[in-house]
Structure 1
């Protein structure tokens, strides 16, 4: 389920709302989650792995035990952010599918979800279609197809997949129709459907689904400009799962973007990274350093970010962020262009084409950038970061009449974009 959000690595960069000056967060609300010594969810998953590994060692012909192992290694990945667990899941599922000769739809779909987490979207689509051809569990396969088609920008196909889900009170339908409406820019409807999904999770007292819906409602309410409600939902998430790094990241972003409290935001980030260490923490710290006009600290954090990527193989998972970093430096903009082209091959979405346009713009070819934006981005995305790039490219092409209305909307989205970009928006 968490793979729908894919989200465990970049959540703090993707919350959106109107910036407010009033203080919302209070350390007393979340300090008890900052120095937790144990991690019950992680320990439970590890114990389950030990249990199923012992059973498999005694009966290596029981392929179903491998699926149990894969499921729990996936939980370890979610809990720690350690990508080695994601690759362990892949290895186990490849073995399962090999033994079943790719005839069982469950393991095929599980491997497809693993590939989504790795940003191997085209391979995930191949597996989803393989499951579809087998014909069993069609509704579950349509859910996977919806997820991967959304990632690939195949929105017409994704809409068809959604129509196959006829049970309008099903949890999995509700969270997907919420995602669909968010994609359409209808945030009120997206929140309404996610609230309905939350009610199902609460009624059934399903811990994992409550965590999932509470944390996503934290995001969506941030998008809607209700930072207080966003904060409250993150606290509700932590009350259920004290080690939930996703919710703490959300609070760190509120501290930075809404309250300009860089010291507190950094304190939270440093704390989370002790137990959930992923490269994106360095990106946020670099963003904070830039806001503080501390170029040396920004460079240090970006260096740590790239060192981590060079040490650990993350595949294509950070291509988007690498492109943005390289594009913003004239000396590396050509490298950004190369990665943007790879991203379009991986997932030809408006987001990927925007990366291409932004790379051309930073290479000095604003006309080429405009051509790409007009063909692949304009009217196809509601993401403020993309609209900031679009407005900047319009300005470079002396199309100021088009800049003004975008600037007006961007000033309503400074919470997502952050204090650093807020300064740049005012200069558009």
Structure 2
């Protein structure tokens, strides 16, 4: 009897400890963010629309005042950020083309603005042409170097990007800090990337600049998530929402924590469904498809992917979703050849390690593991520290019987399961 009682006590204690650990492991709480899901108004959107109406009336009365068009364009950019509606991004382009035409492409500010618009559209080579045009004019060189850094990073011109960064070198400058943070993230040094973003955050807070606070808080949410600091990531997303209650990016970050960290698919879907009512973009269907796959609900996964492609076919997003399309098509043997076609287009648009990885992954899924390996070794190995790319690399190594190279990558990937998500976590364990 004593033995049975002792075993019962031990079992109860173990279950209690397990229960406590599970509770302590939970991070998100509805009471923290429900108020942001239930917001009916959108002050940032309404303010931007009010500014557009104000400056449009002034321009209508004085159509020779080209500077008014730039102000209208700036507020359409804010509408795009706030709603995700691509028509606003195209409206910005239309206005900036008019501005630059009237300035005979001699105003560096409007040239750079159009360049940034092209970056948002994933028209990186055109953005680089504009950045170099601004550089040749020679005014506002630091601002042009910032644009050049951003474009060169997108194009994989890392040597040039590093030169742009050295030109900017000023540890007291917010724009320099966020870029050198991005550079260190690219190098795989997350600790330094976070530290530099925290310095940028301090500048934003000292100056009480809300737009810069939103930028740093949301980026610190991302960076800390990648580093496995999930609680800190969550706290920064909440700080973002405290400044901008309609920030869909932060809410999406919380939805990812609900899904990837807590495996609470119901809550993740609830958050996504609420965000997409006011910020409707195709990527929400992809997240819901991932969640459905985790639940083994393949009918729901198919429905969400169909809705995703329907939206892309209905609305012109240009090359903005090429990466996602390649990965979706590559994972199905029946559409892997289509993935290969898009991957080649992506390499033409932006010859980065990421784009070459898409090409290698497409060849792997078409059954050509040798060609996939050759591409990875020439264009990806040692050039990127992205976990998704490393998962592809490990899979391709395994297909080529290079198991000794798989083991160290697998070890690192197991540290990145939050970033990669539950579906890939299962696949990593089986590597």
Q: Provide the TM-score with structure 2 as the length reference.
A: 0.94
Is the partner of 2:363 in helix, strand or coil?
helix
Distance 1:156 1:336 in 2: 29
Alignment of 1:128-277 (within 5 A): 128-277=131-280
Distance 1:385 1:372 in 2: 16
Distance 1:145 1:176 in 2: 11
In the alignment, structure 1 residue 402 sits paired with structure 2 residue 420: no
Q: Which residue of 1 aligns with 2:68?
A: 65
In the alignment, structure 1 residue 346 sits paired with structure 2 residue 344: no
Residue 168 of structure 1 deviates from its aligned partner by 2.1
Alignment of 1:270-309 (within 5 A): 270-309=273-312
Unaligned runs of 5+ in 1: 1-19
Alignment of 1:364-379 (within 5 A): 364-379=367-382
Instruction: Confirm or deny: 8 A CA contact 1:82 1:276 kept in the other structure.
Output: yes
Q: Which residue of 2 aligns with 1:109?
A: 112
Distance 1:57 1:406 in 2: 60
Distance 2:117 2:249 in 1: 19
Q: Which residue of 2 aligns with 1:420?
A: 423
In the alignment, structure 1 residue 39 sits paired with structure 2 residue 29: no
Instruction: Confirm or deny: 8 A CA contact 1:353 1:377 kept in the other structure.
Output: yes
Deviation per CA, 1:303-331: give whole Å up to 9, x if none.
00000000000000000000000000000
Q: Provide the TM-score with structure 1 as the length reference.
A: 0.95
Distance 1:27 1:103 in 2: 52
Distance 1:277 1:135 in 2: 40
Distance 1:211 1:173 in 2: 17
Deviation per CA, 1:189-228: give whole Å up to 9, x if none.
1111100000000000001000110000001111111100
Q: 1:383 aligns with which of 381, 386, 392?
A: 386
Distance 1:166 1:116 in 2: 23
Residue 21 of structure 1 deviates from its aligned partner by 8.6
Is the partner of 1:260 in helix, strand or coil?
coil
Instruction: Confirm or deny: 8 A CA contact 1:385 1:417 kept in the other structure.
Output: yes
Q: Over aligned residue pairs, what C-alpha RMSD do you find? A: 0.8
Residue 410 of structure 1 deviates from its aligned partner by 0.6
User: Which structure has the bigger radius of gyration?
Assistant: 2
Distance 2:228 2:422 in 1: 16
Is the partner of 1:390 in helix, strand or coil?
helix
Residue 167 of structure 1 deviates from its aligned partner by 2.4
Instruction: Confirm or deny: 8 A CA contact 1:21 1:258 kept in the other structure.
Output: no
Q: Which residue of 1 aligns with 2:11?
A: none
Distance 1:202 1:367 in 2: 52
Deviation per CA, 1:269-326: give whole Å up to 9, x if none.
0000000000000000000000000110000000000000000000000000000000
Q: Which has the higher contact order (CA 8 A, sep 6+)?
A: 1
Deviation per CA, 1:52-71: give whole Å up to 9, x if none.
00001101111000000000
Question: In 2 relative to 1, CA 166–385 (structure 1 residues): closer, same or farther, beyond 3 Å?
Answer: closer
Instruction: Confirm or deny: 8 A CA contact 1:255 1:264 kept in the other structure.
Output: yes
Is the partner of 1:132 in helix, strand or coil?
helix
Residue 389 of structure 1 deviates from its aligned partner by 0.3
In the alignment, structure 1 residue 358 sits paired with structure 2 residue 364: no
Distance 1:217 1:305 in 2: 29
In the alignment, structure 1 residue 120 sits paired with structure 2 residue 153: no
Alignment of 1:320-335 (within 5 A): 320-335=323-338
Distance 2:389 2:168 in 1: 31
Is the partner of 1:303 in helix, strand or coil?
helix
Distance 2:227 2:331 in 1: 29
Instruction: Confirm or deny: 8 A CA contact 1:21 1:259 kept in the other structure.
Output: no
